[in-house]
Amino acid sequence: MELMADNYLKIKDWLSIVLILMIIVMNWMKWVITKNFPDQEKVEKQEKLVQLNWKI
């Protein structure tokens, strides 16, 4: 029974580490996206301009 408890604790620690890493990666990805595309509206406006140019 003690061995089972130890293994459970190890798995729990490993899962928490994975979760923390995932959260860090998600936040980093969000930061990178916001850094590369400061305003989503600007990007959309540029796309509209490109579409208008294609129509002309």
- Per-residue pLDDT reduced to its tens digit, 9-54: 788 888 999 999 999 999 998 888 777 766 666 767 777 777 777 7
The model's pTM: 0.46
At residue 39, the pLDDT reads 66
Cα-Cα-Cα-Cα dihedral sign, residues 48, 52, 54, 55: positive
At residue 38, the pLDDT reads 61
What whole-number distance in Å separates Cα of residue 34 and Cα of residue 13? 32
Distance, CA of 12 to chain centre: 23
